[in-house]
Amino acid sequence: MSTVCRRSPWRGALTARLAAPLVRAPRLAACARPHLAAFHATPRVRDTWLPWDPNKKSNAHVELHELIELWSRDKFYATGAGLTLGLGVVAVLYGPFSFAAAATALPVGLWWYVGLSDIHQSRHTIMRNFPVLGRLRYLLESIRPEIRQYFIETDNEHNPISRAKRTIVYQRAKGARDSLPFGTREDVYATGHEWANHSLYPKVAPLDKARVRFGGPDCKQPYDGSILNISAMSYGAISDNAVLALNKAARMGSFSHNTGEGGVSASHKEHGGDLVWNIGTGYFGCRRPGGGFDAARFRETAATPSIKMIELKLSQGAKPAHGGILPASKVTPAIAEARGVNLGEDCNSPPSHSAFSCPHTMMEFIAKLRELSGGKPIGFKLCVGRPDELLSLAHAMVDTRIYPDFITVDGAEGGTGAAPVEFSNSIGMPLVEGLRLTHNALLGTGVRKHVKLIASGRVFSGMGIVRKIALGADAVNAARAFMFALGCIQSLKCNTNKCPTGVTSQDPELMAGLVVGDKAERVLRYHQKTVHAALEIIGAIGLESPSEIEAKHIFRRVSSTKVLSYEQQYPAIEEGCLLPGRSNNSPALQRWYSTWGLHLQAHKDHNARFTVR
């Protein structure tokens, strides 16, 4: 009985009729055929056209991109005529002064206004050829950064700063939980992955070890700074409230705040945080009326109690060897006061300094600044370029016996300064190579013990600090990390005066959204937690102080089967090996020369004059 029921003709036919529309594709039909055989049913495969099949077309189906391609001025006019005709019908049915007629007239009028404007403008070909619809392209292009940031980019995709790194800063600044559940998101077998090998006997690195003394025997006012400080960002490049918040945090956390080359503003001095006065080629804050260095004005500004160190800027990572100009239209009274320029005049920063022209005169200028400042630490900042010129600077220190108290090495990945695309992407040495080259140049000439090194470029975490110290730095500066702590969302509008968080905008309404007290607390929390994380890593390695970190402690995967330490990738040279009278035959030194394209006699040509860029 059950067999008869199962094979009854009417039931098989009904089942086949119900099943056939559901089985569209050959693969599904093949899977269904054995199961339907018991009912004497055969699945039918329909030749169904899929919208995304490029080999078949349907007159009834037009995709969006096809609609745009078929669009033209004639179709714009035809569509406008149809809309106008529809407006006439509505006016006849409901009256020309009715609400319905008015509501219809608005979009029709907008259609004609936008379309005719597109046709008669000459700037955009797309809008001329595809009136109204062509605007979609520019609309989508305008919101592309936001769409990419919120929906498309991965956590570790650099654009320019990855979401993972931004999240670390946000969480620490807000005091939120910054632990990571369920294991690392990093591919530990990917080329480029870096780590530190821990010790079976970890130690505790005390907080007081996170301080660095700047200033040698020639300094009457040495400075004890943090291993993490705020890098150079000029007043005007960032907002008044941003400067106030950063400096207030620096005072509360006992770390330094670099003024940037825009001079020392009233906002820098209001909260009394430790300042590093950055002096660029424009000599803002110590400038003669016609340009150039003014010793009297320098002495007056350097006497400010909150100015702890002075940094001579040779170049920066964002645009090395490139000057700049601030148009007169952007020179506000506050900027004019900070820079020592007149309202209504352009602010010019030439590519090179006028106060010196060669390594020896540069060292003499550093000694002059130290004397004029009353014995405060004097150093210089550069993005490393030609290795032979860097060696000339080191040899000039040996010849004159004048040593800068510190050198800030800015990597080409630095990015707080707006720059031409070619310079930002293709000029200057990245921080890893630049820092290691500078460390070795000072080591080889025997002056490393006199000079502290500060590394600047994409540092966001405790591990970032440890990496830079392993390569030779004594301390680290960060700019964008502190911008994120202030609330920056990486909207990439820094050069438009439309920064939505008020960090880089001079618009009073946008700037008012940045509450100084709240953001100062966030900057302070980020600094404290990141320094603490660095000390924890140092202790895990089995060390007690950042000064004990060496290149041998950090490892990098260079291929799927090969791992090298920093020491193996960037070997150190022997101390004093570049001095006259020392042997140049060591394999390590010859490899070092070969790596940087130098001749074995290059270090002897240190008296050659050149313009420091």
Q: What is the pLDDT of residue 108?
A: 96
Of 106, 122, 142, which residue sits at a domain end?
A: 142
Angle between helices 387-400 and 359-372 (to 10 degrees): 60
DSSP 495: T
Give the tokens for residue 61: 């189906």
Predicted confidence (pLDDT) per residue in 352-389, tens digit? 899 999 999 999 999 999 999 999 999 999 999 999 99
Q: Domain tally for the chain?
A: 3
Of 98, 121, 142, which residue sits at a domain end?
A: 142
Mean pLDDT of the chain: 85
Question: Is residue 494 located within the same domain as residue 591?
Answer: yes
Question: Is residue 313 located within the same domain as residue 405?
Answer: yes
Question: Is residue 423 located within the same domain as residue 546?
Answer: yes
Q: DSSP strand E in 530-576: where? A: 554-559, 562-565
Of 332, 485, 482, which is closest to residue 416 (Cα–Cα)? 482
Question: Is residue 593 located within the same domain as residue 509?
Answer: yes
50 falls within a domain: no
150 falls within a domain: no
pLDDT range class, residue 329, cuts 50, 70, 90:
low
Strand, helix or coil for residue 211: strand
- What percent of the chain clears pLDDT 70, i.e. is strictly above it? 85
- What percent of the chain clears pLDDT 90, i.e. is strictly above it? 61
Residues belonging to the chain: 613
| Residue 199, domain CATH | 3.20.20.70
Q: What is the pLDDT of residue 597?
A: 73
If one compares 533 and 318, the residue with the highest pLDDT of the two is 533
170 falls within a domain: no
Angle between helices 295-302 and 359-372 (to 10 degrees): 50
Give φ, ψ of 29 to 5 degrees: -65, -40
Question: Is residue 18 located within the same domain as residue 70?
Answer: no
* Over residues 306-312, mean pLDDT: 98
With the C-alpha atoms ordered 465, 466, 472, 473, is the resulting torsion angle positive or negative?
A: positive
User: Do 112 and 118 touch, CB atoms closer than 8 A?
Assistant: no
248 falls within a domain: yes
* Over residues 168-193, mean pLDDT: 91
User: Do 567 and 551 touch, CB atoms closer than 8 A?
Assistant: yes
Question: Is residue 136 located within the same domain as residue 234?
Answer: no
At residue 562's C-alpha, the angle toward residues 558 and 566, to 5°, is 55
CA distance 530 to 476: 12
Q: Which residues of 100-126 are buried (b: 16+ CB within 10 A; e: fewer)?
A: ebeebbeebeebbeebeebeeeeeeee
Compute CA distances 488 → 145, 287, 585, whole Å.
15, 33, 52
Work out the burial of residue 270: count CB atoms within 10 Å of its CB; fewer than 13 is exposed, 13-18 middle, 19 or more buried: middle
Question: Is residue 128 located within the same domain as residue 275?
Answer: no
Strand partners, 309: 276
Lowest mean pLDDT among 370-384, 496-510, 536-550: 496-510
Given a cut of 50, whether residue 48 has pLDDT beyond it is no
If one compares 95 and 350, the residue with the highest pLDDT of the two is 95
Q: What is the pLDDT of residue 281?
A: 92
Of 410, 538, 412, 525, which is closest to residue 463 (Cα–Cα)? 538
Q: What is the pLDDT of residue 351?
A: 85
Given a cut of 50, whether residue 13 has pLDDT beyond it is no
Predicted confidence (pLDDT) per residue in 331-362, tens digit? 788 888 888 888 877 777 888 899 999 999 99
Cis peptide leading into 206, omega within 30 of 0? no
53 falls within a domain: no
Question: Is residue 501 located within the same domain as residue 421?
Answer: yes
Give φ, ψ of 312 to 5 degrees: -90, 115
Question: Is residue 219 located within the same domain as residue 335?
Answer: yes
pLDDT range class, residue 62, cuts 50, 70, 90:
low
Q: Which residues of 314-348 are buried (b: 16+ CB within 10 A; e: fewer)?
A: bbbbbbbbbebebeeeebeeebbbbbbbeeeeebe
Q: What is the pLDDT of residue 39?
A: 46
Give the tokens for residue 207: 């907080």
Of 105, 120, 142, which residue sits at a domain end?
A: 142
58 falls within a domain: no
CA distance 262 to 277: 9
Question: Is residue 69 located within the same domain as residue 35?
Answer: no
Question: Is residue 375 located within the same domain as residue 473?
Answer: yes
Q: What is the pLDDT of residue 18?
A: 41
CA distance 331 to 339: 10
HEC per residue, 125-150: HHHHHCCCCCHHHHHHHHCHHHHHHH
Give me the amino acid identity at 179: S
If one compares 5 and 179, the residue with the highest pLDDT of the two is 179
Given a cut of 70, whether residue 103 has pLDDT beyond it is yes
Q: Strands 223-226 and 211-214: what pairing?
A: antiparallel
Residues 6 or more apart from 440 whose CB is under 8 A from it? Answer: 472, 572, 573, 592
164 falls within a domain: no
Angle between helices 9-19 and 26-36 (to 10 degrees): 160
613 falls within a domain: no
Question: Is residue 370 located within the same domain as residue 264?
Answer: yes
Domain interval for residue 30 = 2-39
